[in-house]
Amino acid sequence: MLTSYYTVKGYSEHEITIQKSRFIAYVQRVTTPEDAVSFIEEIKKTHWDANHNCSAYMIGEQDQIQKANDDGEPSGTAGVPMLEVLKKRQLKDTVVVVTRYFGGIKLGAGGLIRAYGTSTSEGINAAGVVERSLAQIYKTSMDYTLLGKVENELRGSEFQIKEIHYLDRVTIDSYVKSGREEAFEEMLTNLTSGQCEFEKSGQVYLETDVQ
C-alpha cells in the first residue's frame, strides 16, 4: 500500500466558455475502470446532444490504468491533454469528462489542447484535492489517572485521537501515520513511565485538504 497519494475530494462540475464554445468539466473519484467507464457513460447520456464528451482517467497505485478518449475531436487534442493534467498534478483514482458544445468558432489544434487542459484543471480545482496518508490505528490502554495528561499531549501533537473507550482501563484509539509508529510509542511510553499497553488495530487512509 502507498504511504500517501493525491486524489480529488469527489464529484464536481465546472463550466467555462472559450470562443463561444461551452466546455463543461465533470470530475469524480473512482477506484476501478468499471466505475470510470460508468461515470463517462452517465455524462454521455446526460449530454447526448453535445458535440463531444471527451474523457481521461488514471487509476491504480502505480497509475497502471490510463485511458484518454478524444470522442471525435482531432486526435491528441482532447483526451491526451486532459490525461496530462492528471499526470502533472499526480492525481490517482480520478476520472474527468469534458463536454463541449461547439460555438461556431474553430479553435485549431493548439487552441483545443489549451481549452481541454484548462477545463480539466479548473474542474479539478472546483472538486478540490486531498492527500490520502496511510495510518495505523493504535489502541492504547492505561489507568484513568494517566488519561488527562496523555489526552492533552495527544491533542497537541501530530497524532490524532479517533475515540476514547471508558472501560475497566481507559483505552485511547489514535491514528498514527506510516513511519511514525516508533515516535508514537516512545512518546506515550515516556508520558506514562511505561504504564500503558499498545495494540495495533488495522490501517486506514486519512485525508488532508491540499487545496
In this structure, the answer to whether residues 180 and 91 fall within a common structural domain is no
Whether residue 183 sits in one domain with residue 83: no
User: Cell for 185?
Assistant: 510509542
What confidence tens digit (pLDDT) does each residue in 33-51 have? 999 999 999 999 999 999 9
C-alpha cell at 193: 513511565
Place of cell 479517533: 162
Residues 111-131: tens digit of each pLDDT: 999 999 999 999 999 999 999
Q: Are residues 118 and 22 in the same domain?
A: yes
Same domain, 43 and 111: yes
**What is the mean pLDDT of the segment spanning 12-25?**
97
Query: Domain with 95 in it: what CATH number?
Result: 3.30.230.30
Task: Work out the average pLDDT over 25-32.
Answer: 98
- Domain boundary at 110, 127, 144, which? 127
* Range 45-66 burial, b when 16+ CB lie within 10 A, else e: eebeebebbbbbbbbeeeeeee
Taking the whole predicted model, whether its pTM rises above 0.85 is answered as yes
Looking at the fold, whether 19 and 64 belong to one and the same domain comes out as yes
Q: What is the CATH number of the domain that holds 152?
A: 3.30.70.240
3-state percent breakdown (helix, strand, coil) of the chain, nearest 5: 30, 40, 25
Domain assignment of residue 149, given as a range: 131-209
118 and 154 fall within a common domain: no
Domain C-terminal end among 127, 155, 182: 127
Clarify whether residues 187 and 116 are in a common domain: no
Which pLDDT tens digit goes with each residue over 161-207?
A: 999 999 999 999 999 999 999 999 999 999 999 999 999 999 999 99
Choosing from 127, 154, 170, the residue where a domain stops is 127
- Do 112 and 13 belong to one domain? yes
Residues 121 and 140 in one domain: no
Band (pLDDT 50/70/90 cuts) for residue 1 is: confident
In this structure, the answer to whether residues 121 and 136 fall within a common structural domain is no
The pLDDT tens digits of the residues spanning 52-94 come to: 999 999 999 999 999 999 999 999 999 999 999 999 999 999 9
135 has pLDDT over 80? yes
pLDDT for 118 equals 98
Are 146 and 99 members of one domain?
A: no
Domain count, the chain: 2
